[in-house]
């Protein structure tokens, strides 16, 4: 029986493609939403939609299969709470950057140090987006810069501790202790 293909960890060029697609979609959504909504509300809707889409992309690209339903439910609940109770647009955007960071930390990083590097990368992505917004007045370039910097998360080390990898060396002391424990358990069962 053939196993379904599991995608590998995201690559940089995949991140660049996602950044481009998200920039096009975000700019198109902004153009179509601004006749009916304020610019601030349109940006909130777009940030939530793109953040959710990016979260789904990360889950699709992750080899980890557990906790996906909980992650999506928690993300949706958090996004609803952020949308309802965070009136300040900069704080709203920071909260969504933190949600992206949490999903990447859970599904792609094996150590707290790597997760903290990723948090710094999220801050850098937000700073690049702010810089692009101020210098270009283009939502396309703002979204492009934000997700382009996020594409760099693949250069962060996986952070898997060396002790978590399988030990192919000699583990005779473990086997000896296991045999001793098995013998003790058999004696205990025989005496009952």
Mean pLDDT computed over 124-150: 93
Query: Where does residue 64 fall: left (phi above 0), alpha (psi -120 to 50 degrees), or beta otherwise?
Result: beta
Domain of residue 66 covers 12-191
Express each pLDDT in 7-50 by its tens digit.
Answer: 556 778 888 888 999 999 999 999 999 889 998 999 999 999 99
Q: Provide the number of structural domains found in the chain.
A: 1
Mean pLDDT computed over 91-110: 91
Residue 175 lies in a domain: yes
Residue 35 lies in a domain: yes
Residue 6 lies in a domain: no
Query: Does 5 have pLDDT greater than 60?
Result: no
Q: Of the candidates 120, 183, 181, 192, which has an alpha carbon nearest to the alpha carbon of residue 155?
A: 120
- Kindly state the tokens that stand for 115: 């997760």
Residue 5 lies in a domain: no
Residue 114 lies in a domain: yes
| Confidence (pLDDT) at 159 | 58
| Confidence (pLDDT) at 185 | 67
Residue 1 lies in a domain: no
Query: Does 183 have pLDDT greater than 80?
Result: no
Q: Count the Cβ atoms, other than its own, within 10 Å of residue 27.
A: 18
| Confidence (pLDDT) at 20 | 93
Residue 47 lies in a domain: yes
DSSP codes, the chain: -PPPPPPPSPPHHHHHHHHHHHHHHHHHHHHHHTTTS-HHHHHHHHHHHHHHHHHHHHHHH-S--TTHHHHHHHHHHHHHHHHHH---HHHHHHHHHHHHHHHHHHHH-SSHHHHHHHHHHHHHHHHHHHHHHHHH--HHHHHHHHHHHHGGGGGS-----GGGS---S--HHHHHHHHHHHHHHHHHHHH-
Q: Count the Cβ atoms, other than its own, within 10 Å of residue 175.
A: 10
Express each pLDDT in 50-77 by its tens digit.
Answer: 999 999 998 888 888 888 899 999 999 9
Residue 7 lies in a domain: no
């Amino acid at each position: 029986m053939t196993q379904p293909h599991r995608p590998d960890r995201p690559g940089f060029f995949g991140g660049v493609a996602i950044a481009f697609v998200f920039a096009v979609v975000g700019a198109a959504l902004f153009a179509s939403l601004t006749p009916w909504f304020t610019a601030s509300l349109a940006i909130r809707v777009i940030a939530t939609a793109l953040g959710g889409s990016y979260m789904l992309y990360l889950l699709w690209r992750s080899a980890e299969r557990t906790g996906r339903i909980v992650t999506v439910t928690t993300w949706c609940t958090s996004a609803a709470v952020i949308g309802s109770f965070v009136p300040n647009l900069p704080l709203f955007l920071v909260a969504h950057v933190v949600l992206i960071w949490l999903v990447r930390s859970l599904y792609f990083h094996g150590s707290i140090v790597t997760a903290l590097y990723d948090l710094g990368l999220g801050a850098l992505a937000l700073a690049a987006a702010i810089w692009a917004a101020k210098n270009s007045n283009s939502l396309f370039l703002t979204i492009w810069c934000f997700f382009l910097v996020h594409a760099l998360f693949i250069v962060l080390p996986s952070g898997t501790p060396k002790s978590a990898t399988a030990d192919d060396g000699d583990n005779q002391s473990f086997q000896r202790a296991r045999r001793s424990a098995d013998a003790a358990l058999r004696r205990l069962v025989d005496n009952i």
